[in-house]
Amino acid sequence: MARPGFVLEVDEKTPPIMAPAGAELRLERLGIGTRAVYPADAVASSDPTALIDSALTAPLDSYSLASRLQQDTKLTVVVSDPELPLPRPQFDPRRTLVERVLEAAARAGVDDVELVVANGLRQRWSPAQITAVLGDRVASSFLPDGLVTSHDVTADDLVTIGEAGGGPVRLNRRVAESDVVVVVGLATGITSACPLSEGLTDLATINRMAGAHATDEARTAVEDLVQERVDAFALVAVLGQPLLSAGMRFVSKREWEWNLGDKAAYAGVRQVIGAMPRNGASLVHSRMSADYAIIDVVAGAPAAVRRDAALVWQAGNSVELQGAADVLVVPVWGAATEEGPIGSPLDAAHHALVTAAGSHLGNPYVRDGGVLVAFHPLPNKFSNRRQSAAADFFAKVLPASTDPGEIAAEHEPRALQDEWYLDLYRKQFAHHPLRTFHQWYRIASAAERFSDVIWVGGDRRSAALLGHRAASTYADALEIASDAVGRQPGITFLRGPGLALGDVR
């Protein structure tokens, strides 16, 4: 069993703490009294088959999967496509989950089986990606006959299943017409989107649920309608913390427990990145992966599964904190962003403000009007193929306005009608342009509770475009923050690479 996470109060004997920034691995000496929050220790994975079989035979609020399958059942296996944890898993547990569902279908004699990827606004999966995630066995059996498809939010043949949240809800045709839908997914945090409602509906419905003017009522109404119209069964694996490969394992270890090998590995990685600033980052980060243990597998009615999976993740990852801080410090590592070895400014801002600062239970880490300090260089770099819309958003939209309401009214409609962006989404496996707008709406909403957001080592122009500030050093960032929080602020530091779940009392 893994050691639980804990809070370290920094004193005179505390060594410098790991504070990655983009591609750089660095050690930062924190001020006395700073609370450093460490996640639970990572452990090696084991065969999850027994957990899966147990979940399938004793589901939550549902009959067992085997009892729901008949020879004439029209079965669709929905593969959710959430924001996966980074570093990427060495082995994707969704493969084993899908294989066990297909084996159950084969035992029941089910012939009409298809797989649909619930990618929503994210990139549609290429055959290579389908093979990488689901494995050769599934890919060779279903891909040649076109029985694995990625959802297209712009498709013309979506089926209207009713009205909710202020408009019609159009759903993936195959899913809407299936007798049984098995939703396979991963739980990597306390909250997760409903794969059916956000991953398999049309553009307008997704925008009502997650756009600039979205409401909790609209989201709930759409989810309730989809749940009513689709006979769904969920199967979710709850992941633990990332266990990095031997050469990078020092990142996951507590600094005072580093041995000579860990110190040598740290020095070696810094040398590689320092000697070859561009290629060095790619060598270290591009193939970064980690082993994720499966804490548990939960199956049954989708709403119950999402609730219980979140509770399981909470039990394995929560760390109790006493009182909200004045300053929250968040390192943003290159391996913790999705695109490239470093990631774009939008990726970094989303990770710091939404993913990290939002990884709390109940009370936030920081009091209202506090300050967020993040470590990242904020280079103005985007993937030409997958992030063309994001690059244009950063270069053209943010200089004009950072206000979500104004952006949604004046800039979002043009992006949704841009044939180049849509062609990249449909044919070149790029993200849908609306994804960038939704990403910004979440960033802007999360930033509202802070009086300032300061990027240590960040590009000043990139920070200014985000509406934030940049500082050369951590000490400079605290000096800037002192205008809002004083000279002796309470500071909480989130130590990665995995995220602890802060339960602030």
3-state helix vs strand vs coil in the chain, percent to 5: 40, 25, 35
Cβ–Cβ < 8 Å for 34, 480: no
Q: What is the pLDDT of residue 252?
A: 86
Class for the domain spanning 49-239: alpha beta
Gyration radius (Cα) of the chain, Å: 23
Out of 20-24, 177-181, 497-501, the most confident range is 177-181
Cα separations in angstroms, 180 against 66, 105, 113, 171: 11, 11, 10, 15
pLDDT in tens, 436-482: 999 999 999 999 999 999 999 999 999 999 999 999 999 999 999 99
User: Which residues make up the CATH 3.40.50.11440 domain(s) of the chain?
Assistant: 49-239
Query: What integer best gives the mean pLDDT of the chain?
Result: 92
- Residue 147's pLDDT band, with cuts at 50, 70 and 90, is very high
Q: Would you call 360 helix, strand, or coil by DSSP? A: strand
pLDDT greater than 80 at residue 282: no
pLDDT greater than 70 at residue 280: no
Q: Which residues on neighbouring strands pair with residue 297, listed in sequence order?
A: 237
Q: What is the 3-state secondary structure (H, E, C) of 76-136?
A: EEEEECCCCCCCEECCCCHHHHHHHHHHHHHHCCCCEEEEEEECCCCCCCCHHHHHHHHHH
pLDDT greater than 80 at residue 499: no
Tokens of residue 488, six digits: 């002796």
Print burial letters for 236-251: b (CB count within 10 Å at least 16), e (below 16): bbbbbbbbbeeebebb
- Note the CATH architecture for domain 6-38+322-504: Alpha-Beta Complex (3.90)
Percent of the chain residues topping a pLDDT of 70:
94
Q: What are 263-267's contacts with CB under 8 Å, separation 24+?
A: 266/25
Give the helix ranges, DSSP H, for 143-257. 173-176, 195-199, 203-210, 216-229
Q: How far apart are CA 235 and CA 96, in angstroms?
A: 11
pLDDT greater than 70 at residue 500: no
- Residue 338's pLDDT band, with cuts at 50, 70 and 90, is low
pLDDT greater than 60 at residue 151: yes
Cα separations in angstroms, 187 against 97, 153, 172, 280, 325: 13, 24, 23, 32, 28
Q: How far apart are CA 467 and CA 23, in angstroms?
A: 23
Q: Model's pTM, two decimal places? A: 0.94
Our measurement of the distance from residue 58's CA atom to the centroid of its chain's CA atoms, rounded to an integer in Å, reads: 29
Q: What is the pLDDT of residue 1?
A: 61
User: Which residues make up the CATH 3.90.226.30 domain(s) of the chain?
Assistant: 6-38+322-504
Query: What is the mean pLDDT of the segment spanning 489-498?
Result: 89
Cα separations in angstroms, 436 against 126, 347, 408, 430: 21, 10, 11, 11
